Chains A and B, each alone.
Chain A
Amino acid sequence: MSAMKGVVLIMALVFLLIMTLLVTAMLLVTQLSHKAAYSGQQQLQISQQALQQHLQQMQLPSDSNEDAIESMSTCPAQYAAWTSDTLRCDLQLLSTETYSDNRYFYAGYSSLVLQQNLALGSH
């Protein structure tokens, strides 16, 4: 009789263990899938934010992030044309990088920019 009770107890314990494992696994899977689903959204958000920062950076006159690739001998044709030598043109590569707060996500943008400068004398 007592042997029977022992078997029942072990069975119950094994059942409990299996149930615990099942529940834990299910919880983990749910959490993971949630994370997986959210990460895409977060990446999109960071890309959006990075593009916004990149375009803002382009408006600033600072030239900390740029590399002048090429100084053009004459400016490309434009509707409001200029006699040569008055307008100087440079090609620049502007690159910016943005990380998320936890640094898990990253987005970077680069732009090819034509910078026009007036070459003026003064008096």
Chain B
Amino acid sequence: MLLRLITYLALVQSAAALSCNLNSTEPVVANVSSVHDSTEPRQVLLSNNVQSAAPGTQGLLQMHSANNFALLAQLNQWPTPSEQVATINAEPFVIDTNHDGIADAVYVVDINGQLWFIPLNATSFGEPEWVADLSVTEAVFDQPLQMVQTLSPDHNGILRKVSMLLVIGKKADGDILLALKHSKGSAEPVMLSQLTDRTAITADEVRYGISESLWTQIQQGNGWFVNLQQRITAVPQVYAGVVYVTAANGSAVQADCSLADEAASQLYAMHLHHAGLIYAQRHWDISSETSGSLALLSNSEGELELSLQAEGQVQPLLSELLAITDECADCVSTLSADQYPQRIRLATFQTEQGAH
């Protein structure tokens, strides 16, 4: 009982200190199929507890019409023993699995780290699927979810389509960044024990690259996590298979995620599939005068540049970017703007004339 009280107090105290909030104040916009006309999609707004102004202890997800804000559907009964989940403060992530411009599902995470996959219909939510239980981390999950659709090697090394979710948990001593794989129809929820701890990388890995056994372990598992010991100050972005995120010491991060004067902040660059090294270091100091969102821009010479962007201010962080390749676990290639537009031949067929 005492332990519970201490944990609760610690959580409340840490939640108060962890004030940097990267969520948008607006509900998430999604295109769903129209009820009457199947060709024309219509827009709906998805609101969590914060946007629905329902700050209670029960998780709530609402779907409103974008035209008149009429409530179309809401999800407040979940397939848990108590039929409830904790408050949902993190921005949900809408996914379009078949690339037709119509949202197929939404990922949400509650404040305790229960991650859900909820199919979307024209006017309702489908049966939620329990994706992961990250409550063991004892972190607060109230930062926006990020997701990329990727091809990830399975336990046989064969590339398979998965959704790679990037989840941020706030702990008292710093944030934890988790990357977990989800493919539709997974039977069991992912537990923290199925993720590989990549907080520290060995000197051998720095010198020779990721070891074969560790790479196999990650392929057989469901992802990885990194304890950053710092606060994340920008929503993670994935460019050419490299996860970029900025972080700074917790005491220096202010409520709007900006930094106190002359505070040092760091840029992390990690391999999407195993959180290993891409550049010479996995993280390094940046002289961050501005805070803002990470963006990939082209500079005046037409070269690609990773920058921090906020209210008209742009601060370049990194040029000479690298991309991962699937030839080996550590293989990288240079990424430049002149490689685009890139064409991939999907199929070629010969035109037949007068053939029967």
Is the CB of B356 closer than 8 A to any CB of chain A? no
B217-262 contacts to A, CB under 8 A, are 237-241
Determine which of B162, B241, B337, B343 lies in contact with A80 in the assembled complex, contact meaning CB atoms within 8 Å.
Answer: B241
Q: Which of B100, B146, B151 has a CB less than 8 Å from the CB of A83? A: B146
In A18-64, the 8 Å CB interface with B consists of 47, 51, 54, 58-59, 61
Q: Is the interface of B mostly helix, strand, loop or mixed?
A: strand
Instruction: Determine if B340 and A118 form an interchain contact, defined as CB atoms under 8 angstroms apart.
Output: yes
Residues 79-119 (chain A) with a chain B CB within 8 angstroms: 79-84, 86, 89, 91, 95, 97, 106-118
Contact B149 A81, beta carbon cutoff 8 Å: yes
- Complex contact A97–B341 (CB within 8 A): no
- Which of chain B's residues have a CB closer than 8 A to the CB of A59? 343
CB distance from A24 to the nearest CB of B (A): 32
Does residue A2 face the partner (Cβ distance < 8 Å to B)?
no
Do the beta carbons of A61 and B297 come within 8 Å of each other? no
Partner of B99, one of A74, A106, A117: A74
Interface residue total, chain B, C-beta cutoff 8 A: 49
Bound complex: CA of A107 vs CA of B348, how far in Å? 13
Complex CA distance for A34 and B345, rounded to whole angstroms: 39
- Over the window 139-168 of chain B, the binary record of Cβ atoms lying under 8 Å from chain A Cβ atoms (1 yes, 0 no) is 000000010111110000001011010000
Q: From the candidates B149, B309, B343, name the one contacting A121 in the complex (CB within 8 A).
A: B309
Tell whether A78 pairs with B347 under 8 Å between CB atoms, given A115-B342, A118-B337.
Answer: no
Known contacts A72-B99, A121-B295; decide if A83 and B348 are in contact (CB<8 Å): no
Chain B interface residues (CB < 8 Å from chain A): 96, 99-101, 146, 148-152, 159, 161-162, 164, 237-241, 272-273, 295-300, 304, 307, 309, 314, 323-326, 337, 340-351, 353
* Complex CA–CA separation, A74 to B175 (angstroms): 29
* Pairs of residues from A and B, 5 with the lowest C-beta to C-beta distance, nearest first: A108-B351, A80-B241, A81-B150, A73-B101, A81-B148
Q: How far is the CA of A72 from the CA of B102 in the complex (A)?
A: 11
A86 touches B99 (CB 8 A): no
How many A-B pairs have beta carbons closer than 8 Å: the answer is 128
A residues in contact (CB < 8 Å) with B: 47, 51, 54, 58-59, 61, 72-84, 86, 89, 91, 95, 97, 106-118, 120-123
A51, A74, A80, A122, most chain B CB atoms within 10 A = A80
Chain B residues closer than 8 Å to A122, beta-carbon distance: 297-299
Residue numbers in A under 8 Å from B300 (CB-CB): 123
Q: Is the CB of A113 within 8 A of B346?
A: yes
Write the nearest CB–CB distance from A32 to chain B, whole angstroms: 21
Residue from the list B151, B272, B349 in contact with A110, Cβ < 8 A: B349
* New A-B pairs, 10, CB < 8 Å, besides A74-B96, A111-B348, A121-B309: A75-B149, A84-B148, A107-B350, A110-B351, A111-B347, A115-B341, A115-B343, A118-B337, A121-B295, A121-B298
Chain A hits for B337, CB < 8 A:
118, 120
B350 contact from A108, A112, A115, A116, Cβ within 8 A: A108
14 A-B residue pairs with Cβ-Cβ distance under 8 Å, sorted by A, are A58-B345, A77-B161, A79-B273, A80-B240, A81-B150, A97-B351, A108-B353, A110-B351, A111-B348, A114-B343, A114-B344, A116-B344, A121-B309, A123-B300
Question: In the complex, A41 Cα to B106 Cα: how many Å?
Answer: 57
Q: Is the CB of A121 within 8 A of B348?
A: no
Residue pair A113, B345 in contact (C-beta under 8 Å) = yes
- Residues of chain B with a CB closer than 8 A to A106's CB: 353
In the complex, what's the smallest C-beta–C-beta distance from B83 to chain A, in angstroms?
Answer: 33
Complex Cα–Cα for A118 and B184 (A): 28
User: Do A79 and B325 touch (CB < 8 A)?
Assistant: yes
Asked, given contacts A73-B99, A77-B150, A108-B351, whether A113 binds B343 with beta carbons under 8 Å apart, the answer is yes
Q: How far is the CA of A97 from the CA of B314 in the complex (A)?
A: 48
